[in-house]
Chain A
Amino acid sequence: MSKNKRMSRREFLRWSALAGGMAMAGPGLLRNAYAKSKAAGKQVIVIGIDGMDPRLSERLMDEGRMPTFAKMREAGGYRRLGTSTPPQSPVAWANFINGAGPGSHGIFDFIHRDPKGQVDVFYSAAETVQGSGYWQVGDHKLKLPLIGEGAKTELRRQGVPFWDYLDAACIKSVFYDLPSNYPPSKSRHGNHKCLSGMGTPDLLGSYGTYQYYSEDGPRPPYDESGGRRYELYFQNERARATLCGPMNTMLTQPEHAEMEFFVHRDIDARTALIEINGREVLLKEGQWSKWVPLDFELGTPWFLPSERVSGIVRFYLQKVGPVFRLYVSPVNMDPREPALQITEPPEFAESIAEELGPYYTTGFQEAYKALSNEVFEEDEFISQASHVLKERLALLDYALKNYDDGLLYFYFSSTDLQGHMLWWDSDDDHPARSREEAEKYFEHLKKLYCRMDGIVADIIKRYPDATVITMSDHGFANFKRQFNLNSWLRENGYLGPSDVKSVMEADWKSSRAYGLGINGLYVNTKGREKYGIVEPGEEKDRLLDELITKLEAIRDVNGQQVIRKVTRTDKEYKGDAMKYAPDLIVGYARGYRASWDTCLGNCGKDVLSDNTSAWGADHCADASEVPGVVFCNRPIKPDLASLVDIAPTVLQEFGLDVPGSMEGKAIV
Chain B
Amino acid sequence: MPRYNILLAGVGGQGLLTLGSIIGNAAIEEGIDATIAETHGLSQRGGSLVVHVRLGDGSSPLIPHGGANLIIGLEALETLRYLNYANKDTKIVMNEFLWPPPLSKTPKLEDIIKAISSSARLYVVNANEEAKKVTGLIVTANTLILGFAYMIDKDLQSLLSEKSLEKGLERVFRGKALELNRKALKAGMELAKKTI
The answer to whether A and B interact is no
